[in-house]
Structure 1
Amino acid sequence: MEQGFNFSNELSGKIALVTGGTKGTGKSIAQRLLNAGATVIITARNAPEQANSHLHFIAADLSQSAGTQEVVSKVLEQFGRLDILVNNMGGSKTPGGGFAVLNDEDWESTFQTNLLAPVRLDRGFLPQMLARGNGVIIHIASIQARLPLFDATLPYAAAKAALVNYSKSLSNEVSPKGVRVLTVSPGWIQTDGATGMMKEIAARTGIAIEDAIQQVMESLGGIPYGRPAQPEEVAELVGFLVSPRANYLTGTTFVIDGGTIPTI
């Protein structure tokens, strides 16, 4: 059966939430959905440095249960529903050095941010999606779920692996009821934060920024494409996955890593 899609303004009438949407990849995803016609809500601890009147901002700490509940309540009170949830917030602040330097707080805080925050948001928004028989949930994971860097980000890699497993399980439950659940696993993304880290490494070690970038790529085992991803490239994938063009896609993990993962 043939089905036609309007690629222009294809998300018109949809309401979307992007967590961690004030900078980096989250900012690019929010802009991509906005460009497609969606009403876009973003959330983070702090307001964006440059305000965008077309985006609706909610300040919240999603690593805490109260912050998650606040976002769910405000979105549903103000907009009445949510059609698209992009669980983008995540990151690692644990010290390098392997398992011996990590304490309970390192593990707990990492899992709160990278696993439990998405779980809570899904739990908050899924009932109204299921009641309407329609919705899309995207979990932004990481290739570290399959390619962990034990010396630097052990808890982060473990949390993202759990997120991928949870996402697949959730899809099996809710896809028959009309809600699509997908995972996007990026490799290294050259956000402003990553660029700042490269500058710090270069200054600390006395090497050029280009050499610092090469060192990081080598620590990943190499990136066949030859460079990190740009945030806009990840956003374009997400924009497609939440669109009507991807209606038959659910329960799948999409890797966008320039070929970094060395296996099929």
Structure 2
Amino acid sequence: MRLEIDNLVVSLRSDHMLGRGRTVHAVKGVSFAIGTGEAVGLVGESGSGKSTIARAIMGVVPPTTGEIRFLQEGRASGLPKQRRAKLAQMIFQDAAASLNPRLKVGSALNQIIAVHHPRLSARERETMGLGLLRRVALDEMIFDRFPRELSGGQAQRVAIARALIPEPFLLVCDEPVSALDVSVQAGILRLLDDLRRNSGMALLMISHDLAAVRALCDRIVVLKEGEIVEAGPANAICSSPTHAYTKALLDAVAQI
């Protein structure tokens, strides 16, 4: 399996008073690919187009021009919603906000398991849900807790467990550790790396933090104002950057 992004352009209409808005070119001709088991970092400052690319992959915003393709499946825009969900899932910076506050963790997992694995019995769904918690290194007691009772790291692990239910080819991680304590960040990054290596799932790691991306990714794509300014193996990008913007991002990491 392979995700290919070919000359992607995404133009968005900004809201403005009196009904007049302007077109913002958020992504300008971006191309890259991710294969089975690969981890690719998408790096840049706020407003560089990282999250817009993620939303385009997930089908939340349509490409203006260019294509997003899943090889052996075809153009992403032509895929049924449930099939697309089996190809790509997404986790967010604020994991707790992405969980239903009215549902205990077990009930939330059960609902999604029922959608993607409709032939399972209630007992089998519960068994699968508990297994997912163990897979993301959470105690089974979490099953009966509400999101408000979870720490930030626990909430992110639950979000990852939920994303694993369709057994996706690709996990899109939009700033997944930036809201967490440094010690917790390391554990989440290790979990993502273990899942990738053990399952062959591909990762797209979106971040402004080159240090976090360097710890996880094989390749890095550097974005500035919607365009790729540098791309290559993670070690080469971090040790010998060629673009001044990349050097500035690395300098920012070194000063922390």
Q: Same fold (TM over 0.5)?
A: no
